[in-house]
Chain A
Amino acid sequence: MAIITVDGREINVKDDALLIDELLANDVSVPHFCYHPALGKDGNCRMCMVEIEGQKRPQIACDTPVKDGMIIRTQSENIARVKRQMLELELVNHPIDCPICDQAGECSLQNFYMEAGLYDSRVDIAKNKKQKHVDLGANVILDQERCVLCTRCVRFTSNITKTHELGVVVRNDHSFISTFPGIKLSNPYAMNVIDLCPVGALTSKDFRFTQRVWFLKPQEAICDGCSRGCSLLVDHNREKYKDDLIYRYRPKHNDAVNGYFICDYGRLNYKKENDNRLKFAYIRGMESEFEYATLKLERLLKRYNSKALLLISPTLSLEEIYRLKKLSQKLDLDINSFDENFDESFGDDMLRQNDKTPNRRAIELQGIESSKEDLQKKLKDKDFVLLINRADVDMIKDLGYDGSIGVLSSSDFLHKDKLDIIIPVASHTQRDGTFINCDDFIQYSKCQIKRDIESIKILDLVEGILNDGVSTCEAVWDSGLKEENFLKDINFNDVRFNSIKIELK
């Protein structure tokens, strides 16, 4: 522990920590471009200047370890002048095309100008021209004029992905970022450079011009792309007279799971939430009223009892799995969760996992059978199979099953007319729930977006049948989920805000 004084305020800091980290952690504003906690210091932008008592000249906070008793000034007349000059230099050749720049609204350059700049331009000569629209590959578009040459993107490809696609070429104020000749940006994490870039030099081709960022409303969620379960920010917006749509996913910083990054597959996985959604309930291929279909499903399950099988999916939340298990016990239904959503070529040693479902661990921990043999055996004497959060009808037909089939799914699928009952359910970002990732971290996905298309949450559907008033996640925990062995020491309210590792006894 060390104590430093910042602008007259004493703060406790860790020994040998970087000054910039401690300042930022204590809400002291320090403009910076090149420093990023995941990439470390580089010391090239000189924006993070602070005054340290006893030192003749201002120092960069990103390359100064804290020392006990340090006295720091970040607001003095002198330091304000230094920051203004650094910014002025940075902006000499900047095109300032904020009106057409997707970064506007979340741009460090804009923010620092409002905070530390506010000077009138003294540049009356023409600005350097560079390329404004370079497709670097991997959905990343480069505007060389907007770049502040902080090299975050270069350091990401050299230190984090180790794919070395990017570099700085040409000297002094003609320098620009480029891929090496003959190669494109191509690695499964490439789009993270878009978030890393503090300005609008690197923007997303996928998000390009679809929304201005200040219209977007971020909500927190857990990615359902693979069993890593990275933390996400879901940026959505309901335009006037339109439906609420998701426009992008961004990584949410979470040291326990994904750090500052997510993979590109997960990032683009938001599309399934918007597109190809199941819009109506169907009974034997005919569009049906929603209420009628849910009542019909209840009757079917109660009629078939032990002749019915719930085939659940590892994309369901822990609460949904628990409630479906309860439903199967109450109505004497069989339950299984066989699912083959693995991709041996997907996993790597960074974040991605071969298991492309977010919650297989929860199924395992609740002791639900998921083997193919078990499914085959159970299918033998069944007259009704209900696929829940999945629509792989062909899979059970291939196993020789030819009885009635029902489907609860959020996305649309083919050959609906052959099935007895189909009900659209809330998609991943439309309902909250907890997920247990590949490293046994239990995490809460909070995002609940209200769409215009009609769908029902599985918790509500089960509640409608069991009629016990348990339809929120919290109520499910209180109704008995928290007694489960693996959740003994865990409290739902803690899970809400943190990723917590479950201890298996």
Chain B
Amino acid sequence: MGFKIVPRYGKSLKDKLYLPALFGGMKTTMSHFLKNLSDTSNIKTECYPEMQPTDITSRYRGVHRLTHRDDDSVRCVACFMCATACPAECIFIEATQREDNVDEKMPKKFSIDLLECVFCGGCVEACPCDAIRMDTGIFTFVAQKREDFVLNKEQLLANKEGN
């Protein structure tokens, strides 16, 4: 393997004095500060959470949801494709026999640990049944305890398609 020699900077007297660079930085900060102060309507940052973002695209990956069939039952067949694809291993499924003749297999338990999830969307890509999506538009979630960040099957089924 080869290696690359990186030149070292900062040997001149001006660099060593340090203060010129400090004032240079302050100049940039102050110019933005004064510009924003004179025209508050054009500030780029938003006062979240009072202001909510309006420019989230429909492809944005938010909290997951489990989709429904036409008869409103769960679409997932517990094939574990999502759990297999998941790099964070945060999808927990327990499969069971489905007794209503719609299909043979379904999840008895299905939960996603949002604290472990890296929101890669791998699960959505992997699902052969379009049973899991990340289109709820929920991009922020709050809870009191760690356990509350683990969404169970009922919660995932209750999540609706966002805008």
Contacts and interface: CB of A to CB of B under 8 A. Distances in A.
A99 B89 contact: no
B89 A100 contact: no
A133 B84 contact: no
A100 B92 contact: no
B92 A99 contact: no
Contact of A212 (B80, B92, B96, B103): B80
Contact of B104 (A132, A210, A240): A132
Interface in A180-220: 208-210, 212, 214-215
A212 B82 CA distance: 12
Contacts of A99: 77, 79, 81, 128-129
A97 B129 CA distance: 11
A240 B89 contact: yes
A100 B105 contact: yes
B79 A208 contact: no
B141 to A, nearest CB: 21
Given A98-B79, A209-B96, 19 more contacts: A97-B104, A98-B128, A99-B79, A99-B81, A99-B128, A99-B129, A100-B77, A100-B78, A100-B79, A104-B79, A208-B97, A209-B95, A209-B97, A210-B95, A212-B80, A214-B84, A215-B80, A215-B84, A240-B89
Contacts of B96: 209
Contacts of A104: 79
A212 B97 contact: no
B81 A133 contact: no
A99 B80 CA distance: 8
Interface of A: 97-100, 104, 132-133, 208-210, 212, 214-215, 240
Interface in B110-128: 128
A97 B80 CA distance: 14
**Interface size for chain B: under 10, 10 to 19, 20 to 34, or 35 or more residues?**
10 to 19
A97 B89 CA distance: 24
A103 to B, nearest CB: 13
Q: Which of A97, A208, A212, A214 has the most CB of B within 10 A?
A: A212
A240 B92 contact: yes
B51 to A, nearest CB: 39
Contacts of B95: 209-210
Nearest to A132: B104
Contacts of B89: 240
A209 B84 contact: no
Contacts of B105: 100, 209
Contacts of A209: 78, 95-97, 105
Contacts of A100: 77-79, 103-105
A132 B78 CA distance: 18
Interface in B39-89: 77-81, 84, 89
21 contacts: A97-B104, A99-B77, A99-B81, A99-B129, A100-B103, A100-B104, A104-B79, A132-B104, A133-B104, A208-B97, A209-B78, A209-B96, A209-B97, A209-B105, A210-B95, A212-B80, A214-B84, A215-B80, A215-B84, A240-B89, A240-B92
